[in-house]
Amino acid sequence: MTLEILTSDLLSPLKHGFFTRRGGASSGIFSGLNCGHGSSDLTEAVAINRSRVADAMDVSPEALIGVHQVHSPTVLTIDGPIEGEKPRADAVVTATPGLALTILTADCQPVLFADPDANVIGAAHAGWRGALDGVLEATLDAMEALGASRENTRVAIGPSISQRAYEVGPEFLEDFLTESAQNARFFANGHGDRLQFDLPGYGLHRLREAGVGHSEWTRHCTYSDPERFFSYRRSTHAKEVDYGRLISAIRL
């Protein structure tokens, strides 16, 4: 099966993609394009999958740049391949051609950034904690340090868990209300004391408040489409022992 790569018109003509699980070498619960070395999948299968992604991005596997994601607002600025252990961070930016910045997700937001005039790109992993703590704004700050402009920056949020599938408790709401009472608009009533959180809506809000010129969500829900996407929450509900990781990438 060939790879399925979702793209955004906002980021065109830069080479980029939100890769689905289709077209990979993994099997079982990881069936498809699992690109997470942190999973319990076969190392050889993950290496094959990542090699296919590198080929699709027209880079060598060594130029497929990722970090050790920890749900933080930390951003890494790079100008070449990372050697040795991956740094702990949740976003990467560069102005160096030939490097494909990548993010792994399984419900959290994969966010790709580009200022095509300044030739600066970024990629961020934005779950609820990272988004609340400012990883999106920190990515924009790091891009500006390389010469980008927020007004000129285009941002696409890829497949993420949607509001209808993201049930949370009242204590979760309190974290967001502490930051701003206006955040109540990203929550809808669920069953009992449960609430439904709009993660991509919140991500778009943070980007627009930060001064981004153009932003969008691809409107793909990871939880609701098991044929195309891995989902941490869906795997948890199914009592599976592990889950695959989707990869998203962008390069100059």
Full DSSP string of 188-210: EE-STT-EEE-HHHHHHHHHHHT
Does some domain include residue 131?
yes
Buried b (16+ CB within 10 A) or exposed e, 20-49: bbbbbbbeebbbbbbbbeebebeeebbeeb
Does some domain include residue 12?
yes
Does some domain include residue 64?
yes
Per-residue pLDDT tens for 143-176? 999 999 999 999 999 999 999 999 999 999 999 9
pTM value > 0.85: yes
Residues 181-198, mean pLDDT to the nearest whole number: 96
Q: What range defines the domain where residue 33 resides?
A: 5-161+218-251
Structural domain count, the chain:
1
Does some domain include residue 193?
no
Residue 223 maps to which CATH number?
3.60.140.10
Per-residue pLDDT tens for 77-131? 999 999 889 999 999 999 999 999 999 999 999 999 999 999 999 999 999 999 9
Does some domain include residue 167?
no
Mean pLDDT of the chain: 97
Give the contacts of 202 (CB within 8 A, at least 6 positions apart).
128, 131, 176, 183, 186
Does some domain include residue 142?
yes
Does some domain include residue 197?
no
Does some domain include residue 43?
yes
